[in-house]
Amino acid sequence: MENILEIKNLSLSFYTPSGEIEALRNINLQLGKGEILGIVGESGCGKTVLSKTVLRLLPKNAKIKNGEILLNGKDIVPYSESKMRGLRGSVMSMVFQDPMTTLNPTIPIGKQITESILKHSNIKYNEAKKQAIEMLDMVGIDSPEKRFAMQPHFFSGGMRQRCVLAIALASKPEILFADEPTTALDVTVQAKILDILLKIRDETRISIVFITHDFGVVARIADRIAVMYAGKIVEVGKTEEIFYDPRHPYTWGLLSSLPYFAKKGEPLKCIPGMPPVMMNLPKGDVFATRNKYALDIDYEKEPPIFDITDTHKAATWLLDKRAPKIKPPKFFGGECHE
Amino acid sequence: MKNRTLIKDIIIRLLGFVLAMFVLSVVVFYFARLAPGDPLQSFYGDATESMTSAELHAARVRLGLDAPIYIQYIKWFGNALGGDFGLSLKYKMPAMKVVSPLIGNTLILGSTAYVLVFALATGLAIACAANEDSLFDRAVCKIGTAAYYIPAFWLGVVLVLIFSINLKVLPSSGAYDIGKSGDVLNRIRHMILPLIVMILSHLWYYAYMIRNKLLDEIRKDYVLLAKSKGLNKREIIFHHCLRNVAPTIISIMAISIPHVLSGTYIAESVFNYPGLGSLSVESAKYHDYNLLMILVLITGFLVIFSSIIAKTINEIIDPRMKDSEVSAWQR
């Protein structure tokens, strides 16, 4: 598959008065055309920062330390702000978590959509209006002509998220970053939004980076999954590989903490401890202190990324030839090798 | 249905307006008369000292000052409804006639200052908010804080010293030179110094307020969405943020009318500019009750009416304000 977005060795830090926060550490990631990539991890692990880095929506104190972001083969890291502005909306756009706050409360929905269309093309207002109404129709808003002129406060949360989606997709971008677009919605609305995203992907071949902390959501929508921990991608692979053959202890922890796997009468499982503060990170594997499978070397040296298959990679010393063989927990009755 | 509630709203607001004016007139009428001092002194001047108490009493009866205050009020109120606001004790002619030639002067000065203050404040606020934490932004905020505490009357005197006495480029007092009341340029020259005083003493406060409000707005999530659409700073500020801050600016503008008006009054008295401000100070000083009443009513009218207009405009801009008007107790 042809890669539309390729991130190479990307590291980014926030420089704050109390020190450097290493938000992204050596990220390598590819996104194919028409692919939906799920990024999963706990709060604060850098999922949102990663997508905002690509769109360059971060505050001034965030600096890319090294690495490349190749968009259609061209590195956009050195791009000027005005050049980035040309990409935002037209080539890549973003949907945010809370639909109650991401729409401008005083501007009618329709205008918020046409604004994006008019910005990136030379068409007349009436044509843009027609396209905007089509967009609203596509994301499943009833009687879009009537809703076109309404302000966001007439809409429910789910409808607002559809409107945000319509805004993000208005200029037909090639990549959509969806930052927990369903987290603030109730479950039935969540399912509808996911269906819309899938439908749009099938119709337009758009690539979607879907950020979430919900494995259930990601199982439903993603082609591939990247698991992030403390600013690093610890495991990446096809959705089946991550679910049926997870290799990183952190992925095990996340999967076993799904309420789906809980047995009646037993307390829900969780990963002990807290995600680290991303300042002055300890030596070795950052996850080691929370990892009951941690080896001595985890406290000394960061694990490299091991290839399991062509598509499946994980960063844990357990995959080293010299590591003791342990029996990983089982999920979905799947066969775990070794 | 919608029209009916609109008409109902307008009627309710007008009733509230009338009530407010009524209460204002009662309070000022009462308190002015309770203040120590004798209005006869301003009417007869030094002659009061040689008058007998019988003569004084007769004068009081003639001027209607002997009756209890509420009787006086009822009488004044009846006349005022008919458009007769009584005699000015100091000028010895109808109060309306004293005031009417000066209203224009004050309105020109006040409204020019008002428009300039808010146009400049909004411009400055946008420039600061767009370049938050830049040298420019910090300089404006610091200078503004310092300038806000410079007393207007002191600044006025300093400006007169510099521009009128030393440089001799601008007149120090009056609204126009004698015989040149129709000369626009001459009037403008007389307004420059009072305007500078008023702008310098009001601008910063409002600019700072609008700037902070804009910065709050710029931190909101929808700005990030607007940015991810590919809009630039100018489009985000003018098409998105300013629109949402507009109700605040309009509210501030409405609330500030008395503030700017009082600034006009101070500037008028510093620069001897013939207007309502200097007249108000005089009328209070000389117990010129009827003149005071009409001035208070004019000022009150401007203040109350402007707040009603501001509220109405805000509801048109942001319809949510109307929806949230129902308090929790009524639900």
Per-residue pLDDT of chain B (331 residues; tens, 9 = 90+): 456 677 887 888 889 999 999 999 999 888 888 877 777 777 777 777 777 778 778 877 777 777 788 888 888 888 888 888 888 877 888 888 888 888 888 888 889 999 999 999 999 999 999 998 899 999 998 988 888 888 888 988 898 899 888 888 888 777 777 777 777 788 888 888 889 999 988 899 899 999 999 999 999 989 999 999 989 999 999 999 998 898 888 888 877 887 888 888 888 888 888 888 888 888 888 888 888 888 888 888 888 888 788 777 777 776 666 555 566 666 6
Contact A106 B228 (CB under 8 A): no
Give residue A337's pLDDT. 41
Residues of B in contact with A82 (CB under 8 A): 232
* Nearest residue in B to A169, CA atom: B229
Residues of B in contact with A90 (CB under 8 A): 230
Tokens of A66: 């090294």
Domain with CATH 1.10.3720.10 in chain B: 95-330
Contact A104 B229 (CB under 8 A): no
Strands lying side by side in the sheet with A207-212: A92-95, A175-179, A207-212, A36-40, A224-229, A232-238, A313-314, A306-307
The number of residues making up chain B comes to 331
Closest Cβ opposite residue A89 in set B224, B228, B323: B228
Tell me how far apart the alpha carbons of residues A141 and A131 are, in angstroms, rounded to a whole number. 14
Interface mutation vs chain A, best among B221, B224, B228, most A CBs within 10 Å? B228
Give residue B3's pLDDT. 62
Give residue A334's pLDDT. 46
CA distance A333 to chain B (A): 42
DSSP-based three-state secondary structure for B34: helix
Give residue B330's pLDDT. 66
CA distance A258 to chain B (A): 30
Closest Cβ opposite residue B224 in set A57, A107, A115: A57
* Nearest residue in A to B231, CA atom: A85
| B191-194 contacts, C-beta under 8 A, 24 or more apart | B191/B108, B191/B109, B191/B112, B193/B156, B193/B159, B193/B160, B193/B163, B193/B164, B193/B271, B194/B109, B194/B113, B194/B156, B194/B264, B194/B267, B194/B268, B194/B270, B194/B271, B194/B273
Residues of B in contact with A168 (CB under 8 A): 225, 228-229
Give residue B290's pLDDT. 85
Judged against a pLDDT cut of 70, whether residue A280 lies above it is answered with yes
Contact B232 A90 (CB under 8 A): no
CA distance B255 to chain A (A): 23
Give residue A62's pLDDT. 93
Give residue A338's pLDDT. 35
Threshold 0.80, pTM exceeds:
no
Closest Cβ opposite residue A103 in set B222, B230, B323: B222
Terminal Cα distance for chain B, rounded: 21
In this prediction the ipTM stands at 0.85
* Nearest residue in A to B244, CA atom: A106
A vs B, Cβ pairs < 8 A, gives: 78
Tell me how far apart the alpha carbons of residues B155 and B158 are, in angstroms, rounded to a whole number. 5
> A-contacting residues of B 205-234, CB under 8 Å?
220-222, 224-232
For the segment A274-291, the average pLDDT, to the nearest whole number, is 84
Name which residue leads in pLDDT, A281 or A88: A88
Question: Mind listing the domains of chain A with CATH numbers?
Answer: 33-60+79-228 (3.40.50.300)
Judged against a pLDDT cut of 90, whether residue A271 lies above it is answered with no
CA distance B35 to chain A (A): 51
The CATH number of B95-330 is which of 1.10.287.610, 1.20.140.10, 1.10.3720.10, 3.40.50.620? 1.10.3720.10
Beta pairing class for A306-307 and A313-314: antiparallel
For the segment A254-260, the average pLDDT, to the nearest whole number, is 82
What angle do helix axes B95-130 and B242-270 make, rounded to 10 degrees? 130
What are the Cα distances from residue B277, in Å, to A128, B258, B274?
Answer: 55, 12, 8
Whether B323 and chain A come into contact, CB under 8 Å, resolves to: yes
Give residue B327's pLDDT. 65
Residues A254/A271, Cβ–Cβ less than 8 Å: yes
Closest Cβ opposite residue A107 in set B224, B235, B243: B243
Closest Cβ opposite residue A86 in set B225, B230, B318: B230
Give residue A335's pLDDT. 43
Per DSSP, what are the bridge partners of residue A175? A92, A207
Give residue B280's pLDDT. 85
Interface mutation vs chain A, best among B222, B234, B249, most A CBs within 10 Å? B222
Contact A120 B230 (CB under 8 A): yes
Contact B222 A105 (CB under 8 A): yes
Give residue B304's pLDDT. 85
Give residue B251's pLDDT. 80
Tell me how far apart the alpha carbons of residues B263 and B202 are, in angstroms, rounded to a whole number. 8
Give residue A54's pLDDT. 95
Contact A153 B231 (CB under 8 A): no
Name which residue leads in pLDDT, A185 or A118: A118
Residues A104/B244, Cβ–Cβ less than 8 Å: yes
- The pLDDT tens digits of the residues spanning A131-163 come to 999 999 989 899 999 999 999 989 998 899 999
Cβ count within 10 A of residue A48: 21
A316: amino acid identity, one letter: T
Contact A101 B222 (CB under 8 A): yes
Interface mutation vs chain B, best among A53, A83, A106, most B CBs within 10 Å? A106
Closest Cβ opposite residue A98 in set B221, B228, B319: B221
Tell me how far apart the alpha carbons of residues A20 and A44 are, in angstroms, rounded to a whole number. 15
What angle do helix axes B95-130 and B276-285 make, rounded to 10 degrees? 120
Name which residue leads in pLDDT, A338 or A334: A334
Nearest-CA neighbor of A24 among A170, A186, A199, A226? A226
Give residue B82's pLDDT. 84
Average pLDDT, chain A: 89
Give residue A52's pLDDT. 93
Residues of B in contact with A89 (CB under 8 A): 228-231
Name which residue leads in pLDDT, A83 or B262: A83
Question: Chain A residues with CB-CB distance to B under 8 A?
Answer: 55, 57, 82, 85-90, 93-94, 96, 98, 101-107, 115-116, 119-120, 151, 153, 164, 167-168, 170-171
For the segment A30-35, the average pLDDT, to the nearest whole number, is 94
